[in-house]
Structure 1
Amino acid sequence: MNITKGIIAKAQKVVIYGPEGIGKTTLASQFPNPVFCDTEGSTRNIDVFRADKPSSWQMLMNQIEEVKHENFQTYVIDSVDWAESLCVEYLCQKEGKTSIEDFGYGSGYIKLGEEIGRFLNKLTDLTEMGINVVLTAHAQIKRFERPDEMGAYDRYELKLGNKKTQSTTAPLVKEWADMVLFCNYQVTVISTDNKNKKKAVGGQRKMYTTHNPAWDAKNRFGLPDEVDMSYESIRFIFDNLPPRMNEVIQQAVPQPQAPVQQVSPVQEKMQQLVQQEIPNLEPERTVEIPPIIPASVADLMKLNNVTSDEIMAIIHQGGFMPNDTPIENVPTELWGYLSTNWDKALNLLNTQIRNF
């Protein structure tokens, strides 16, 4: 056995949730070198790097893969509530359902939990490479009744789906995270001159780091139960993290140097003449997508440099529509099928149409 001892510093999986407008996005923007998957336009007034808003579940999963090849230290999904709705839409389109309820006997929620699990595994891959992952989420107040106590009380929970999805999505996200930070306004209730009336005062923003009957929260770093809602309260956790794994590899492995070729003055002059006389015969490939194609497919076409002619060739070659079918006659259901089975569509394009 290889037995080790000591603290292992690694990239963190963080969930930040709370009421709308409290500053979750601003807090996430202060993490080390972040890039945002901004689903709600929350970063419009913040100077941060942001990726294109995914219009489909497949595009979001592709974006997570692309982050591995970029030089960011933190990937922020703002918010995970929206990501769950994309997942529900993806499952319904894939199975030909109009609602998650149409699956019957709760099987739709089981499929949702499985797909969210795969999504969280992809995010874990980022942390293994040294990239922090931050998920923001809204909070909802839910009536909670303990089986071993009399009475019930209200508590804050992650706003993920409805009552039924709470049993799968929210627990998965909380278990996955290293830190669940609940943000809220600190309010004090005081009595007025009229003893029968009370009023709320204060409103300072606070961040809660440990579990409480009134909210979900956790951390693994011995943080105080309550801290100011600022990155400075948790900065020490991220200041000691090692560099990203790909940066370590690049530093450790020397890059081969290309041999320097000596070019004579005559050869240099000939190269200049050739460049002047022979124009570039391969113009840059541009993809113009008709507006009739839904955004869920159009965004994937842009990402993979697929033209409208090629997408129609996929439809014809796959036997979905006759060869003379115009793009205007492609039904909405078929566009939905293409967006949820994009990997199969690309494989057909590369093997039978482009002949790669």
Structure 2
Amino acid sequence: MANDIDIFSLEPSKISRDLKGKYLLLYGAPKVGKTSFAVQAPRALICAFEMGTNALAGTRFVPMLKWTDFKKVVSQLRKPQAREMYDTIVIDTVSIAFDLCNKYICQREGVDSIRDVAWGQGWGMLKQEFQEAFREITMLGFGLIFIAHAKEKPTEARDSEGNSISAMAPDLTSSAYTIVNSIVDLIGYISVEYDTNGGSERYLYTRQTPTIFAGSRYKYLAPKIKFGYQELVDAIGDAIEQSVSKDGAEVTDHTVINQVKSRPFAEIMEEAKNIWGKYLDVASTEEEKDQHLNVMRDIIRRVFGSEDFKLSTAVPSQADLVELFVDEVKDLM
């Protein structure tokens, strides 16, 4: 991946009113409307780790039977056509995604349990694999909606009689939750509430209570919102307007995303070959050419960890390192 970095051309960040490019974790009871909400996001791609989309017309979804299926999706999201078709990637449900990632690591390492990986490295491998997949999606410029089931969990809080208070929380392992929490802008709990006549209404809780786990990076977002896609868009818009008036934040109607561009490995290698030749060609004497050759060997040592590494032997997994070599030589010309 190539990421054109220029710190001198940066503009101050702005908060967008829409949900494009935002990252959410929504959780609630089965059939409460989590997936129905997610498919309302414009140009959404549903990664269906469980089949809750069969009754939803007009959705684009792909069944995820194993973690390698998801890795194929991430690979395809790197292509320019993906940005032309999709804005938001929906993970339904994230707990199953984590389980399949766990299974993938075990198969790759030839063990039955993540605990059996040599030197206790299994959990680190699992965390890295799971985290990097979603980090790449965000860096490619897509929004993310994680869907999870709800689970009642004990808390340290006590009621007036000293009894332990339970709270609704996402049904995720601590490892999966830590990773997802580091990504998302909003954790919302969907609750169904009934009136005295038996009528029901769904609400989205966006702020922590003694019995509900939730949270948001939007300072002025209402703690309880009528559940619905447009209702959340409007509530975030209101929160942003308050941020503008009270904190002086800058706002835009649409998310502006600096995408990380991807290009074929063969193209990267061809540029490396060309830049090598050009840097030698600008030398006017044999002595100067030897100096340029030593400079590039020093760059190779710093980038690849060995001055004996031959650039022509680089493999696709080293694409980022080859890009770094090219950028450093370019800076010398």
1:200-279 aligned at under 5 Å gives the runs: 203-221=200-218, 222-236=220-234, 237=236, 240-242=253-255
Asked whether the equivalents of residues 23 and 183 of structure 2 are also in contact (C-alpha less than 8 Å), the reply is yes
Q: What SS does the aligned partner of 1:224 have?
A: coil
Q: Report the residue type matching 2:95 in the other structure.
A: D
Among residues 71, 76, 93, which one is paired with 1:61 in the alignment?
71
Q: 1:241 to 1:102 in 2, by over 3 A?
A: same
Q: 2:53 maps to what in 1?
A: 43
Q: Report the residue type matching 1:59 in the other structure.
A: D
Among residues 65, 88, 98, which one is paired with 1:84 in the alignment?
98
Q: Report the residue type matching 1:139 in the other structure.
A: A
Q: 1:48 to 1:100 in 2, by over 3 A?
A: farther
After TM superposition, which residue ranges in structure 1, 4 or more long, deviate above 6 angstroms?
243-246
| Partner Cα separation in structure 2 for residue 206 and residue 104 of structure 1 | 46
| Partner Cα separation in structure 1 for residue 226 and residue 87 of structure 2 | 24
Among residues 140, 146, 156, which one is paired with 2:151 in the alignment?
140
Q: What SS does the aligned partner of 1:145 have?
A: strand
Q: 1:297 maps to what in 2?
A: none
Asked whether the equivalents of residues 34 and 48 of structure 1 are also in contact (C-alpha less than 8 Å), the reply is no
CA RMSD in angstroms comes to 3.2
Q: 1:122 to 1:6 in 2, by over 3 A?
A: closer
1:179-218 aligned at under 5 Å gives the runs: 179-187=186-194, 203-218=200-215
| Partner Cα separation in structure 1 for residue 121 and residue 151 of structure 2 | 25
Asked whether 1:158 is paired with 2:179, we answer no
1:110 Cα deviation after fit: 3.5
| Partner Cα separation in structure 2 for residue 6 and residue 63 of structure 1 | 29
Asked whether the equivalents of residues 194 and 200 of structure 2 are also in contact (C-alpha less than 8 Å), the reply is yes
Q: 1:104 to 1:6 in 2, by over 3 A?
A: closer
TM-score, reference length from structure 1:
0.56
| Partner Cα separation in structure 2 for residue 41 and residue 75 of structure 1 | 16
1:96 Cα deviation after fit: 1.6
| Partner Cα separation in structure 1 for residue 124 and residue 152 of structure 2 | 24
1:105 Cα deviation after fit: 8.7
Among residues 12, 16, 26, which one is paired with 2:36 in the alignment?
26
Q: How many corresponding residue pairs?
A: 229
Q: 1:44 to 1:245 in 2, by over 3 A?
A: farther
Q: 2:116 maps to what in 1?
A: 102
Asked whether the equivalents of residues 157 and 210 of structure 2 are also in contact (C-alpha less than 8 Å), the reply is no
Q: Report the residue type matching 1:186 in the other structure.
A: E
Q: 1:146 to 1:100 in 2, by over 3 A?
A: farther
1:242 Cα deviation after fit: 3.7
Among residues 133, 146, 157, which one is paired with 1:119 in the alignment?
133
1:118 Cα deviation after fit: 1.2
CA deviations 1:262-281 (Å, max 9, x no partner) are: xxxxxxxxxxxxxxxxxxxx
- Determine which structure has greater relative contact order: mean sequence separation of CA pairs < 8 Å that are 6+ residues apart, divided by chain length: 2
Q: What SS does the aligned partner of 1:216 have?
A: coil
Asked whether the equivalents of residues 49 and 65 of structure 2 are also in contact (C-alpha less than 8 Å), the reply is no
TM-score, reference length from structure 2:
0.60
CA deviations 1:221-273 (Å, max 9, x no partner) are: 32211111111212245892247767xxxxxxxxxxxxxxxxxxxxxxxxxxx
1:61 Cα deviation after fit: 1.8
Q: 1:99 to 1:215 in 2, by over 3 A?
A: same
In structure 2, list runs of 5 or more residues that go unmatched. 1-6, 238-251, 260-315, 318-333
Q: 2:183 maps to what in 1?
A: 176
| Partner Cα separation in structure 2 for residue 20 and residue 47 of structure 1 | 19
Asked whether the equivalents of residues 225 and 232 of structure 2 are also in contact (C-alpha less than 8 Å), the reply is no
Q: 1:333 maps to what in 2?
A: none
1:98 Cα deviation after fit: 1.4
| Partner Cα separation in structure 2 for residue 135 and residue 30 of structure 1 | 14
Q: 1:98 to 1:219 in 2, by over 3 A?
A: same
1:211 Cα deviation after fit: 1.8
Asked whether the equivalents of residues 39 and 59 of structure 2 are also in contact (C-alpha less than 8 Å), the reply is no
1:216 Cα deviation after fit: 2.0
1:4 Cα deviation after fit: 5.3
Q: Report the residue type matching 2:233 in the other structure.
A: R
